Amino acid sequence: MIDSHAHIFDESFSLDLENVINNAKNNGVNKIVLVGFSRDTNDLAYQLATKYKGYLYPTCGIHPSEVSDNYLSDLVYLEDFINNHKVYALGECGLDYHYDTSNKDLQLKVFEEQVKLSIKYNLPLIIHSRDAINDTYNILSKYKEARGVMHCYSGSLEMALKFIALGFYISLGGPVTFKNARVPKEVAKGIPLDKLLIETDSPYLAPTPYRGKRNEPAYVKEVLKAISEIRNIDILELEKILENNTIKLFKLED
Ligand SMILES: [Zn+2]
């Protein structure tokens, strides 16, 4: 299995990171995409991935909740970071209208600039989209060369198929394991398997039976298991397909 989205540089792992990584390995996780989202976390992801080369694969981006009036210098910083560090994706970036819509224009601008950077540097995008699915779609659909993944996708099956038509993958995490999560299960059932990824988003969104606890990459197996049941497909066969999808999208060589 590959956990296509984790933040295990988070301070909640500071005491037992070694154990968390060993637990992931012992549970069959053989790669983890380590996702940065701010100046600090891009550094943390890169440093940690250097320590666990061939197991952790770092990315860099500016999350919508990190945008500020300093966005021009942030974008210069980000391009500089890409030029000076081997990263496997641009993101996470995107739009988040859940807590704050007062800075919509700024979010849109910083997101669109990151889409352009991803094309310039031929990097897949890791998209965070919360309560902003239509604006996210409208920006991505302007750029035919944009590609990447809709991380922890929570929208409808209909929209998922539209993102796939643009060239994007759909990544499902903990919520697909929740008993009452009708929509993520519909997405899991309805999208082509060659466009699906799985993730944990550790330390957030732990799957059943760990719901409410700190999430960790080993738990991605619960996501795999849930999808294999929903699709009625052999778990090993599904695992192989999803691994191949992830390796292909992020070009995860050792
Ligand atoms: Zn994340």
Domain extent for 108: 2-205
List the one residue out of 42, 85, 33, 76 whose CA is nearest residue 60: 42
Average pLDDT of the chain to the nearest whole number:
97
Residue 64 lies in a domain: yes
- Which alpha helices (DSSP H) does 94-234 contain, by range? 104-120, 133-141, 157-166, 182-190, 220-231
Q: How far is the CA of 128 from the centre of ligand 1 (A)?
A: 7
Q: Give the distance (Å) from ligand 1 centre to CA of residue 251.
A: 19
Whole-number Å distance, alpha carbon 198 to ligand 1 midpoint, is 12
Q: Calculate how far, in angstroms, residue 161's C-alpha sits from the geometric centre of ligand 1.
A: 22
The b-or-e profile of 164-177 (16+ CB within 10 A means b, else e) is beeebbbbbbbbbb
Model confidence pLDDT, tens digit, residues 185-199? 999 999 999 999 999
Residue 252 lies in a domain: no
Kindly tell me the number of DSSP H helices and DSSP E strands found in the chain: 9, 8
**Rounded Cα distance, 254 and 99, in Å:** 39
The pTM score is: 0.97
Q: Kindly give the distance from the C-alpha atom of residue 135 to the centroid of ligand 1, in angstroms, as a whole number.
A: 19
Residues 6+ apart with CB under 8 A from 100: 65
Report the pLDDT value the prediction gives residue 254, as an integer from 0 to 100. 59
Whole-number Å distance, alpha carbon 2 to ligand 1 midpoint, is 15
Closest-CA residue to 207 (of 107, 216, 129):
216
Is there a domain that residue 97 lies in?
A: yes
Kindly report, residue by residue over 199-231, the tens digit of the pLDDT: 999 999 999 999 999 999 999 999 999 999 999
Query: Considering the domain boundaries, does residue 230 fall inside one?
Result: no
CB 206 within 8 A of CB 212: yes
Distance 1 CA to ligand 1 centre (A): 18
Structure tokens at 9: 């540089």
Residue 171 domain-assigned (yes or no): yes
The CA 58 to ligand 1 mean position distance, Å, reads 12
Bin 59: left if φ > 0, else alpha if -120 < ψ < 50, else beta: beta
Looking up residue 35, the CATH number of its domain turns out to be 3.20.20.140
Neighbours of ion ligand 1 (CB under 5 A): 201
Report the number of distinct structural domains present in the chain. Answer: 1
Q: What is the pLDDT of residues 32-70, one digit of tens each?
A: 999 999 999 999 999 999 999 999 999 999 999 999 999
Sign (positive or negative) of CA dihedral 137, 89, 145, 82: positive
Backbone angles phi, psi at 128, to 5 degrees: -100, 125
The verdict on residue 86 lying in a domain is: yes
CA distance linking residue 50 with residue 11, whole number of Å: 18
Quote the percentage of the chain above a pLDDT of 70.
Answer: 100
For residue 102 the two structure tokens come to 């007062």
**How many A from CA of 96 to the centre of ligand 1?**
12
Residue 245 included in any domain: no
d(CA 201, ligand 1 centre) in Å: 5
Residue 100 has pLDDT above 90, yes or no: no
Residue 249 lies in a domain: no
